[in-house]
Chains A and B, each alone.
Chain A
Amino acid sequence: MFRNDIKICLTLIATVLVAVFSAPAYADVFTDGVQALNAKSYSDKGRAIDALASLSDERSVAVLDALLAGKLVYKKSDGRVFIAHKMGGVYALTSPVNSKEVGEVAKSDIKKIRINNKLRGKLKGLLGGLTLMSKDPDLRLSAANKVFTANDPAMLTLLERALAREEDADIKVRLTRAHAAIVLVHSTDRAARLSAVKTLETFTDPDVSSLLGKLAFLDDAGQPIEKDPAVFKAAKDAHKSVESQLAKWALLGNLFQGVSLGSVLLLAAVGLAITFGVMGVINMAHGEMVMLGAYTTFVVQDVIRTHFPDAFDWSLAIAVPAAFLVAGAVGIVIERGVIRFLYGRPLETLLATWGVSLVLQQMIRSIFGPTNQEVGNPSWMSGAIETSTGLVLTYNRIWIIVFSLGVLVMLALIARKTMFGLQMRAVTQNRAMASSMGIRSGWVDALTFGLGSGVAGIAGVALSQIDNVSPNLGQAYIIDSFMVVVFGGVGNLWGTLVGAFSLGILNKFMEPYAGAVLAKILILVGIILFIQKRPRGLFALKGRAVDN
């Protein structure tokens, strides 16, 4: 008994001592508030977040930001909360209270404070509220959008204050939108709600449509969700008008998606338009050239990441020529090693190149392993242009459209304007005549095949931005490539262009109605029927050369 008392006494003294010595760090509400974030359950964390945000302490923004970014951690030893920054293999901790550095720790000493989607949404809303009055207009704009999404009635007064002092017209519109949204959902004043519906109706915006939709639908029992009939009717009408506006924009979006798919098909097929279209080689290893290009991109990025991390945004610019050279060289080796012995024997060429494709796949699998490799998007290719009308144009797709057209123009120029292009056309049109004119037809064959393969390699660089970089990458594109070339007309670059874009757009307009699987089948059936009618494709070559 006595012993226990001493023990308690000692503990008490120790506690007091600790409290005294660490007093500066533990004394205020803010520190306790931060510490409370390290709660067990998500609902406790939610309460702690609310409490912290209501402190109107400027430091809360940094803490909540860190929590949202997954940088708020606690030490396993004493449970104290810090903001962590990764520095190589270790983490540098800063105190959330006075932003002082408190040293570095290993990853195993700290643990991240976890949040879930619900808290993430809440944090974004709160941070929006906290940054509504910020000096930075970009921050204010994103804050206005966040407040709209969060739709929290507690922010109404804050919003009104922000509206009163906002001068930027764009931001003001966004603030009005957020204000109307909150009024519509949470107010009980019918007139105010009806005018909120009127305000919202002017926005052609999927988020607004979604909000109005909440009020405009019947529940499962067939009763309107919105109890006030006037508001229900207004919301329903507004929803319909916003939706019909959106539908027009969606059509435009659909067209963009079709063009984008077309550009991917064009990229994949344009190399084949040379090896198959111009030379007549049924090259089943074409897809593997694309794959080699994608792996070249991976290697280039890997080197840049380890040696010149600042130049990462340039990685694709370096990868394009590298991929052209790698795939082109492999193409020349294949032509000299295998294909040249098989000219005029399409069946043997098909089998031999198919064998080559398997060898290349397995080679890559042995070197890099069977799993996907990570190829990053440079910053100028990530994200999207998002208009307020719900039209999303992703940057990587836009660049691929531009890039594919660029590649096609380059090829056309090479074929039309250079000596090599002239020789290439001469050899493919009449080999005997070209040889007797002193053209080394063997070399021209090799270089032409190299050019086609190199272009396929370039396509691989672009495809690595939207698809897996795995040994199977090429297989996914080989059928599509042949389809485009045959449909467009063998031996005709413009045919490939038109073929690719018409297939892409057709596919994308059918997909919403027929589904992805059926759309693909319908396209294939369509092409088979088309080939029956026009065996030479859309743009058939005319002349004697064709008859060979």
Chain B
Amino acid sequence: MKHSIRNLIGAGVLATSTALSGMAHAADTIKIGVLHSLSGTMAISETTLKDTVLMMIEEQNKKGGLLGKKLEAVVVDPASNWPLFAEKTRELISKNNVDVIFGCWTSVSRKSVLPVIEELNGMLFYPVQYEGEESSRNVFYTGAAPNQQAIPAVDYLLSEDGGKAERFVLLGTDYVYPRTTNKVLRSYLNGKGISDANIMENYTPFGHSDWQTIVSDVKKFASKGKKTAVVSTINGDANVPFYKELANQGIKAEDIPVVAFSVGEEELAGLDTAPLVGHLAAWNYFMSIETPENTKFINTWKKFIKDDKRVTNDPMEATYLGFKMWVQAVEQAGTTDVDAVRQAMYGQKVKNLTGGVAVMNTNHHLSKPVVIGEIQDDGQFDVVWKTDGVVKGDAWSDFIPESAKLKSDWTFPWACGNCEVAKYAAE
């Protein structure tokens, strides 16, 4: 009898300890790295994305987490310092053992992360529109490629509704994204019969604040008798003084429309937009688009950030789409293992906040709709043009001869980001 009691106790202890270890296992979390600058020049844009990831994690945890575990954010601050992005990536993967990273804004920071994330076989979701000409096995690009933003925007300007522009001014900040985008645009415009004499290109430093000369140059260029439009890849802080100068020099959107690729609701928050009504922006998302998903997203965001005045923007939607897809892929794969999740990512579908369904393609870019909006006096955009369906993101531009040959496809038989022929022969 005594013996059996002892056995019973033993079994009890064993059972308890098993249960405990089980609980300890359940308390284990899935770690998500957040790699956005919280200080320095880019903090103005990137802090919002950090908050977006945190909001998505909170929402997911409310639903019970993922694979029975809670999600946990590991937030680091690369401080707008490009080499630090690489160091922080190494720290996140090697030391904090994160399963996935959401981060980066500028292309130069992404380029800095690339070698590290490829060496350590991590997974990065990059949520900002960019210049293309890249495809990494370890990066999913959820922002727009040039053919999902720049090309449709120029098409609109060339169209009847957009004013049939015949002369183009390409204004940009002096770094890789504007220069590459303008290279793509120039060869595209040449293909549309617009000669180099009718294209003016101009670059300014980061944070340029004195736009008097450039704006009057634009006016002069536009006074040559042909309808002129401006395509702006001006980034970050320089936009506010640029638009102020436009307004003060009285450039009206009906005469010289400016279409911007880096100006969204957030950037307009520091501006009086009444004199800017009618200037354009091309994105995949606008806050003003009314769909049930978007309304819900905006409400959740305002509640999370505890500020009724905060706006939402395109990179936030890109973060949202990337996060949702990753969650679905993990659930499908049943693990957070990077290689398994990558395979599960292909073909994942998530409803866009603007209607339609976004699909992850095997070139690690999304299929998304493109929308063009006009600035309104309340700082929002009104949609004036929208693609019929979704547009598939192109890693390599068809309009740069040496890139047009390249193909990106990370599934068999290609399994390659920049190949002219498939790596493996299909049998």
| Chain A residues proximal to chain B, CB less than 8 Å | 42, 70, 112, 114, 116-118, 120-121, 124, 149, 206-207, 209-217, 220, 250, 253-254, 257, 260-261, 264, 361-362, 365, 369-377, 382-384, 386, 390, 392, 394-397, 466-472, 475-476, 507-508, 511-512, 515-517, 520
B224 lies within 8 A of chain A by Cβ: yes
In the complex, the chain A residue whose C-beta lies closest to that of B273 is: A374
Measured CA separation A475–B237 after assembly (Å): 12
B204 proximity list for chain A (CB < 8 A):
516-517
Contact present for A253 and B216 (CB under 8 Å): yes
Q: Is the CB of A149 within 8 A of B255?
A: yes
Instruction: Check if B209 sits within 8 Å of A466, measured CB to CB.
Output: yes
Closest residue of chain A to B238 (Cβ to Cβ) is: A468
- A370 CB contacts on chain B under 8 angstroms: 38, 43-44, 47
C-alpha spacing A396/B160, complex, angstroms: 36
Bound-state CA distance A334–B231 (Å) is: 45
Contacts of A395 in B (CB 8 A): 248
Distance in angstroms from B363 CB to nearest chain A CB is 33
B48 within 8 A of A: yes
Q: When the two chains form the complex, which single residue of A149, A254, A466, A476 contacts B207, counting CB atoms closer than 8 Å?
A: A476
CA distance A365 to B38 in the complex (A): 9
Interface of A is mostly: helix
Q: Is there contact, CB below 8 Å, between B270 and A214?
A: no
Indicate if the CB atoms of B223 and A372 lie closer than 8 Å. no
Contact with A along B223-266 (1 / 0, CB 8 A): 11110000000000100110011011110011101000000001
What's the minimum C-beta distance from B45 to chain A, rounded to whole angstroms?
A: 8
The 10 A-B pairs with the shortest beta carbon distances in the complex, nearest first, are A372-B270, A213-B225, A214-B225, A121-B254, A210-B223, A394-B248, A257-B212, A370-B43, A516-B204, A468-B240
Q: How far is the CA of A508 from the CA of B217 in the complex (A)?
A: 12
Min CB distance B25 to A, Å, is 38
Which chain A positions have C-beta within 8 A of B291?
A: none
A468, B241: Cβ atoms closer than 8 Å: yes
In the bound complex, how far is the Cα of B272 from the Cα of A396, in angstroms?
Answer: 14
Most A-side CB within 10 Å, residue of B40, B174, B383: B40
A-B contacts, 6 listed (Cβ < 8 Å) = A117-B257, A117-B278, A250-B216, A371-B48, A374-B271, A472-B40
Determine the chain B residues whose CB is within 8 A of the CB of A507 once the complex forms: 210
Residue B382 CB within 8 A of the other chain:
yes
**Most chain A CB atoms below 10 A, which of B163, B193, B210, B247:** B210
Q: Which residues in A have their C-beta under 8 angstroms from that of B19?
A: none
- Is B48's CB under 8 angstroms from A207's CB? no
Could you say which residues of chain A place their CB within 8 Å of the CB of B226?
Answer: 214, 217
Nearest chain A residue, comparing its CB with the CB of B271: A374
Q: Does B394 contact A (CB under 8 A)?
A: no
Q: How far is the CB of B237 from chain A (nearest CB, A)?
A: 5
Q: Is the CB of B203 within 8 A of A516?
A: yes
Q: Measured between C-beta atoms, what is the minimum distance from A410 to chain B in Å? A: 25
B39 near A361 with CB under 8 A, answer yes
Once bound together, how far apart are the Cα atoms of A394 and B250, in whole Å? 9
Contact across chains for B163 and A117 when beta carbons are under 8 A apart = yes
| Chain B hits for A212, CB < 8 A | 225
Q: How many Å from the CB of B98 to the closest CB on chain A?
A: 24
- In the complex, whether B220 has a CB less than 8 A from a CB of chain A is yes
Given contacts A467-B240, A516-B213, A517-B205, 4 further A-B contacts (CB under 8 A): A117-B278, A372-B270, A382-B248, A520-B205
- In whole Å, how far is B294's beta carbon from the nearest beta carbon of chain A? 14
Cβ-defined contact, B224 with A213, below 8 A: yes
